[in-house]
Chains A and B, each alone.
Chain A
């Protein structure tokens, strides 16, 4: 939280500075490992507001190279907004994003995949009317040719087809490559989303609820796939996940988000025992009831 003071004076100078200071004091030091210059992915005081609502509140994360980090939190905690802000889908109101020590806050959304940052979506975002193969191939093509390319004289089938088939194999998608994406089962659509994210050849991969809506068997397979991605491809993985079994079994560390703020970060067993986390979840339960 090194620049809390700066940001407070810059943007909220009508609000009493004591207010911001008090919150900063009472907040638990959420992520002790933050060092933007060495982490694979780091955020520093990241904040995003929608009008009066603060969806992401001064989040400082530091994910180490090769780490598998899970982000958990009650519904509406701001997890997806955090991803959107990291990816540049939503410009942050405040704060910085670092990738591999490099400040990428000002980079356009479409530049980030080329810098090694990729994501899958919570809702199945696909090129629905295209084939499974084309969904992945066009991303492979983009990764090889750059964000824009006047590649006019080739047949698209000669660019990235093998790599795309390989990636479909990696994620274990068995449907024929000529199937239209919209006709895939829900689980296969999620796998396709991961294959597309991998097609950008990322170093850091953000996965937004990769197992949601999956059967227990498919959930286990996906959890194994994620571990494999980390172990065999050597990627850094940040994962939003609701299935606590998956979270506890595969993640190295867990960060807990509540009402937009990071309230704890640590190894699974530590997080399970953390009072603030229990409060957040039980409090959320109480509100829902």
Chain B
């Protein structure tokens, strides 16, 4: 989080002013850097060597950041967030495909319906659960998400396609698929899918960042830090929590609608409680107290998933070890890393350690220079 650094008082030096501006807007700058660097970095032959997942990773970052608005900032751990991703995904897929007699809708309209459904469910569920205590909240969201998954699995009115999901005729009119690559067509203009997703990513993340730095967002932080005190100081904690839940649900559904196009349809797997659990893991792994925590967490997770599944032989120069058998079970090691992280410092995550490490390095370098 930015925020606390710029309180020290102004300076007249131009350099200082530039630095303070950079300090104030380092989140937008960082987000642009993520967009620009992500694709070249992962398509480096030493890393993944292919770039198709770059857009998927950006979408996941939006989703986990939306989740973290609720957990990291408002202090509410939702263990069923996949359902909101699913509302966006299924609404977009059903609307665009017009399956089973549903009216065929343009993608933005279908996505908007998904977002509205998610926000409504978030609001109502929030009214029912936010004041029940954090463990209650975690399990209640989990249970409701499970119920939503079962419902989709039952294929009501033939809309959700049961365990097959919705995969036919799901590409919106403005998206074309050529040789497995998605291209967005606006009039005569062709734009790479990655840049379209980047635009959605930047707009959503900036909106989330603005929420976090707004007076509204600071009220959420106060509630997270000490709900009793917040109430005694005149903050309507219940309403803030319910609205945070609603906003988080809406952004999750937005991510879901874009993910639908990216994945060529809505899959029941994405709606499952396993996805909800992965969301929690990614956020905590990255560091829930930081705006860039979810971004780091998603990157590490998705990268590990792709990279370690591909990884086969470790070349150590003098010998080679075949690790493919062990590394297909990367979830075991990630789980172990997660447990250690939670026991040692549950709120710091990778981003927290990275920050401390960079700060130490900076201090040490400064010491050497002087």
Contacts and interface: CB of A to CB of B under 8 A. Distances in A.
Are A and B in direct contact (Cβ within 8 Å)? yes
B232 A133 contact: no
Contacts of A112: 234
Contacts of A59: none
A200 B233 contact: yes
B228 A89 contact: yes
Given A125-B228, A128-B225, A131-B4, A147 B235 contact: yes
Interface string B206-234: 00001101111111011001101111111
B8 interface: yes
Contacts of A186: none
A142 interface: yes
B267 interface: no
A141 interface: yes
B234 A130 contact: no
B6 interface: yes
A149 B243 CA distance: 10
B128 to A, nearest CB: 18
A151 B232 contact: no
B237 interface: yes
B235 A152 contact: no
A155 B243 contact: no
A142 B214 contact: no
B225 A156 contact: no
B215 A151 contact: yes
A199 to B, nearest CB: 8
A145 B225 contact: no
A20 interface: no
A168 B217 CA distance: 23
A153 B222 contact: no
Interface stretch (A2-10, A113-121, A239-247, A263-271): A113-121
Interface string B222-261: 1001101111111111011001000000000000000000
Interface string B173-197: 0000000000000000000000000
Size band of the interface chain B makes with A: 20 to 34
Interface in A115-167: 118-119, 121, 125-131, 133-134, 137-139, 141-143, 145, 147-157, 159
Given A110-B236, A119-B232, A157-B6, A145 B215 contact: yes
Given A134-B4, A178-B4, A109 B214 contact: no
Contacts of A148: 235-236, 239-240, 243
Nearest 5 pairs of A and B residues by beta carbon: A113-B234, A147-B236, A151-B215, A127-B225, A148-B236
17 contacts: A87-B232, A110-B235, A111-B234, A127-B225, A131-B4, A131-B7, A139-B234, A141-B218, A141-B219, A147-B234, A147-B235, A149-B215, A150-B216, A152-B216, A153-B214, A199-B233, A200-B234
Given A127-B221, A141-B219, 13 more contacts: A110-B230, A110-B231, A110-B234, A110-B237, A111-B234, A113-B233, A127-B226, A131-B4, A139-B233, A156-B214, A157-B3, A157-B6, A200-B234
Interface of A: 87, 89, 108-114, 118-119, 121, 125-131, 133-134, 137-139, 141-143, 145, 147-157, 159, 177-178, 196-197, 199-200
